[in-house]
Amino acid sequence: MTLDLFAELEQGMGWREELDAGAVVLRRFALPRQAELFAALERITSQAPLRHMVTPGGFRMSVAMSNCGACGWLSDRSGYRYDALDPHSGKPWPPMPQAFLQLAQDAAAAAGFAGFAPDACLINRYEPGTRLSLHQDKDECDLSAPIVSVSLGVPATFLFGGGQRADKCRRVPLAHGDVVVWGGLARLRYHGVLPIKAAQHPATGSHRINLTFRKAR
DNA sequence: TAGTGGCA
DNA sequence: TTTT
């Protein structure tokens, strides 16, 4: 599938956009296994349902989340962390499907981060009006690995800021099949998602789905 | 340590 | 509309 991706990028069906040093947007990234991707998503969320986590401050997050992979990102009153077990079931998170892993590794490689080995995939489901406010991904042990963020379904505006919350943000429109990869110098950049506008997408209905791949350990 | 929320 |  790696070859399919590069072939598609070369054929001009998709293209790269350099955001800044260490940050790349892959536009209309090849999703050659889209049916497989969504079937896997279905399987994962039937075992580990999407749920609204609570922030340490006690606020319910508007975006519904689940995970797959060796560990999953969690938030509750006691903080942010990664855990091998889903607190909802007490069982391990569903394994990361091969199609997910392949997609993440292909995207990372296309963005200049060869050898990416994610052990966590956070699944975010945005309904119209939901958002993710500005934050840094810094709960991972290995900050040398990039973040790979796959957009599926209805479009969104991604905010890509600087090293401090107050830094100005780039507004990056993201559509189905777009992938943002950031690492290296850009690894700790603040980022977020503006409230999702009401829209329909054939693959997801009114939702936006985001897959965030990380190496947590 | 506080924090990816929501309001004024 | 942007900021805290």
Is nucleic acid strand B under 7 Å from A51's C-beta? no
CA A108 to C1' B8 (Å) is 41
* Nearest nucleotide from residue A133 CA, by C1' atom: B4
For residue A72, give the nearest of A40, A57, A103, A50 by alpha carbon. A50
In chain A, the N- to C-terminal Cα span, in Å, equals 26
Determine if the pTM surpasses 0.85: yes
Residue A67 assigned ligand-binding role: no
In the prediction, which pLDDT does A206 show? 95
Residue A2 assigned ligand-binding role: no
Q: Check: CATH 3.90.1330.10 for A7-49+97-118+127-214? A: no
**CA-CA-CA-CA torsion for A188, A56, A198, A137, nearest 10 degrees?**
10
Residue boundaries of the structural domains of chain A: 7-49+97-118+127-214
Question: Mind listing the pLDDT tens digit for each residue in A15-62?
Answer: 999 999 999 999 988 887 899 999 999 999 999 999 999 999 899 999
In the prediction, which pLDDT does A1 show? 43
Per-residue pLDDT at A208 exceeds 60: yes
Question: Mind listing the pLDDT tens digit for each residue in A140-174?
Answer: 999 999 999 999 999 999 999 999 999 999 999 99
Is nucleic acid strand C under 7 Å from A168's C-beta? yes
